Amino acid sequence: MSNQRALVEALAELDLNPEQSIAVRERGHCVVLAGPGSGKTKTLTTAMARALVEDVVDPRGVACITYNNECAIELETRLARLGIHTSDRCFIGTVHSFALNQVIMPYARCIPGLLPPEFRVADTAERRTAVETAYRAVFGDQFDPHERWRFAEEKRRCDIDRTLQAWRARNPELASFIEAYEADLRRRGLIDFDDMPLIAFRMIQSRPWIREALRARFPIIFVDEYQDLGHALHELVLLLCFEGGMRLFAVGDADQSIYGFAGANPELLQSLLARPGVRAVRLRFNYRSGAKIIRASLGALGEERDYRGPDGAPEGDLAFWKVKGGHDAQAGAIATTILPKLLERHPHEEVAILYRAAWLGDKIAAALDEKAIPYVRTNGNALIKRSSRLARFVENCAAWVAGGWRDADPPYARLLGQALALVFGGRASDAEEQTVSRQLISFLHSGVGAGESAHAWLQRFSRELLPPWRAVARNPQHEWEVLAELISKTDPAQDKDMPLNIFAGRTEGSGRVSLSTLHSAKGREFDAAILYGMNADDIPSHRDRKSPAALREARRLFYVGVTRPRKELAIVFQEGNHSPWVAELSRRSKGEA
């Protein structure tokens, strides 16, 4: 299907929803306020495709900044269905990737003394050493430098513009600590992860020609999940769009802002709405969940919203499970009763078990292991790290070998693009692209039908692809050690090996149980979901109650969990000790005030 035909069909589909139609056709600054299940990703990708086809003349393109690599992959997949593939015209990646690959790598060498010529990204040990060295230089006492660095990190993420008086006026000792830390990294030819948007901001702020170069290449910038991306992204948007002339299309939902610990601030999204020339579009329909779950979600949020399902949408189901006992007893009830009933009602569909913290995932995993119920973990204890580009690339390659080649899921073009980004960071020459493509195709085809386990396939990946790629790599963000971790995590000597299709997540037709923290479930949807451990002491916790801001964020986290399922939601808690928000949710689900 041609790009034009695919786009026409997508636009016609969105015409059934006036708000979505207005948003994708807007040619000025636009902020889309998109609640759960409102078609946010469809709206965003259709707007990107329309802009590339109708507004932006080749070779100019668009850039889309996402919260994490998982979101980037989802957007690439959706755009591919519209006939748009990631290329020099279409950048999709995190704010750190944008800063590194679109600003620092192309232009840093033009600014004398900014960075060491062959800089690279520091690893964990190198960052810890720099913190300790800087602490001794600034404070010289015997207290824990890493404890104090936590406060320095918060200042570093929030006080972006260091030309302002507030940089040193507010806690000057922390400012000196940060500057000493960064100076130590630079002496060793290093930057860190948080450096990327900060350095990019300073480059764009001090060199208007960089701003002009970016606008010439990307006249429109799209931002997904704006509320999660923090102060550095916000300041970059103000520079590039409201001073630099790029057009902004931002999508977000302040009600789903749950990453305050990482610097996210829902007020930044709200501040865009007050700027002149910005059109706000609110998506009101929830296409994901049944009406009963939508009503209940307002009880979870504790605030009024005008979300509703489309006419004729099913009611959905909501169940409350009181369990006599704590977390272990609740995990046991899920494994023996609740989950089997859900799987019986939802055969060949995805059921998720969601919880507040990773240690609760260990408990539910142990309970499922005891009953021999297979599952996939998608939180911090997962086999595949969502934050690692290399790990996601390896998983996608495994999916292609395990059957994805039949229906181009994932498409080879995406695999090649990911490989080139891993090796070269930015652009590759035609000869480099051909070499990497030849190596990748040879490796992928040799695995089709070979019957290799995940461990054996990963070992061969390490032997055949890593040495030639590492030899020519220009990407300063090294991740090669991730492959060694995957090999270790599938060690057959520890009974951890698995079939390649299971490793790749290609378990369609057999039902799928996903275990995830509430944070890791953000942005995902399931046919049915179980909220585990919704007890009075867990959500909100004692720590949540220490400040109004923390309590509001915990409530938004609960809301995120409630809005994940399409058809059925089960809430599990200790009898006589349920979260106060569970009671509000129950009242709303029954239509009570």
521-547 pLDDT, tens digit per residue, is 988 899 999 999 999 999 999 999 999
Residue 487 has pLDDT above 50, yes or no: yes
CA distance between the termini of the chain: 50
Residue with tokens 């509320």: 227
Write out pLDDT tens, residues 283-335. Answer: 999 999 988 898 888 888 888 888 888 877 788 899 999 999 999 999 999 99
The answer on whether 41 is annotated among ligand-binding residues is yes
Please report, for residues 218, 430, 452, the alpha-carbon distance to residue 58 in angstroms, rounded to integers and kept in the order given. 11, 19, 44
- SS3 assignment, position 530: strand
* Helix 580-589 / helix 291-301 crossing angle, nearest 10 deg: 140
Rounded (to 5) percent helix, strand, coil in the chain: 55, 15, 30
Better-scored residue on pLDDT, 256 or 505: 256
| Structure tokens given for 222 | 């799209």
Q: Is there a contact between 491 and 497 (Cβ–Cβ < 8 Å)?
A: yes
The residues, any chain, with a CB within 8 Å of residue 570's CB and separated by 6 or more, are 318, 319, 320, 321, 338, 342, 528, 529, 530, 531
> Residue 562, class by beta-carbon neighbours within 10 Å (0-12 exposed, 13-18 middle, 19+ buried)?
buried
φ/ψ bin of 572: left (φ > 0), alpha (ψ from -120 to 50), beta (otherwise): beta
pLDDT at residue 68 tops 90:
no
Residue 35 is labelled as binding a ligand: yes
Helix (H) or strand (E) holding 516, with range, is strand 512-517
The whole-angstrom separation of Cα 361 and Cα 366 is 8
- How does DSSP classify residue 130? H
Looking at every residue in the chain, the average pLDDT score rounds to 90
At 342, is the pLDDT very low, low, confident or very high (cuts 50, 70, 90)? very high
Q: What is the DSSP letter of 221?
A: E
The residue with tokens 């999709």 is: 92
Confidence of residue 83 (pLDDT cuts 50, 70, 90): confident
What dihedral angle (degrees, nearest 10) is formed by the CA atoms of 501, 503, 506, 507?
90
The backbone torsions φ and ψ at residue 149, rounded to the nearest 5 degrees and listed phi first, read -65, -30
Instruction: Write the pLDDT tens digit of every residue in 552-585.
Output: 999 999 999 999 999 999 999 999 999 999 988 8
- CA 564, CA 432: separation in Å to the nearest integer? 42
Say if residue 511's pLDDT is above 60.
Answer: no
Q: How many CB atoms lie within 10 A of CB 577?
A: 14
Q: Which helix (H) or strand (E) holds 526?
A: strand 526-531
* Prediction pTM value: 0.84
Check the annotation: does 36 bind a ligand.
yes
39 is in an annotated binding site: yes
3-state secondary structure of 568: strand
Sign of CA dihedral 78, 253, 265, 145: negative
381: confidence class by pLDDT, cuts 50, 70, 90: low
Given this model, what pLDDT does residue 382 score? 56
What is the rounded average pLDDT of the residues 16-26?
94
Question: What is the Cβ-side half-sphere exposure of residue 121, based on CA atoms within 13 angstroms?
Answer: 20
The answer on whether 38 is annotated among ligand-binding residues is: yes
The answer to the question of whether 34 is labelled as a binding residue is yes
Task: Determine the Cα–Cα distance for residues 420 and 433; give it in Å rounded to an integer.
Answer: 7
pLDDT in tens, 85-94: 766 688 998 9
What local confidence, expressed as pLDDT, does residue 481 receive?
83
CB 179 within 8 A of CB 219: no
For the stretch 131-188, pLDDT in tens is: 999 999 999 888 999 999 999 999 999 999 999 999 999 999 999 999 999 999 999 9
Comparing CA positions, the residue from 281, 274, 211, 201 lying closest to residue 249 is 281
